[in-house]
Structure 1
Amino acid sequence: MQAAKNAAEAVKEKAANIGASAKAGMEKSKAVAQEKTDKMTAHTQMEKEMAEEKKNKRMAEAEYHKQEAKESNAAARRATSAPGGHPMYSTGGTDNPTGATEVPAGRVTEGTVESRPMGVGTGTGGTTVHKTRVE
């Protein structure tokens, strides 16, 4: 049973890594296209050099985010495949840079926020009111 779980986790990690690589590839392609546009509209050599520097910076950031995602995916796999480990949470240790006691160990997507059921984790002890009508 554990071997099947580990295999499934490996597949999930691989799929998440492929997604991170694809996203990084798209970001790099956008950077190249933007650089070409900037170079075509540039009037001076300095503007052309700035466009190339901007492209290099964006490409480096895309690669950094890809590597960060791969590390996060590996940490999530380790947390779920550990004996007695909970599939959603790790308990600190080396995978927890903040030192908090519980940190979500699932896939992290930059630009998103954690979601919980209403009234859970609000710190008030009660429930929260959710406004369902948008005006």
Structure 2
Amino acid sequence: MDEVAGAIADPVRREILVMLREGRMSAGQIAGRFRISRPAVSRHLRVLRESGLVHDELVGRRRLYELDTGRLHELAEWLEQFAGPPAWERRLDALETEVYRTRREHRTSGAAEEVKEDTA
């Protein structure tokens, strides 16, 4: 998990991962989208490959890179412990609270009316 976190710490590597969501790309195609040197892009690709976030395949003379999200799931599961409940869960909790409040008010007002009828 530390390797994955270190790999995605760099904004260039995160952008490469986003690009690879679209499908396989060659190192040249990836490098063409950045204003950094090709050797620098190669180093970023090596870090991503070593962390298990991308796989490469030699096709003819081209090396194609492909995203592998398996290692990201482990990190996402760990990060989940720090996230609050999803918005829909909070809304359901609020709805539940409102239902209980309304029921309590109906019971209270119903009991008050019974008392009025008994005293009248």
Report the TM-score, using the length of structure 2 for normalisation.
0.29
Highest Rg: 1 or 2?
2
Larger RCO: Structure 1 or Structure 2 (Cα < 8 Å, ≥ 6 residues apart)? 2
Q: TM-score, normalised by structure 1?
A: 0.26
More helix by share: 2
- Structure having the higher strand fraction is 2
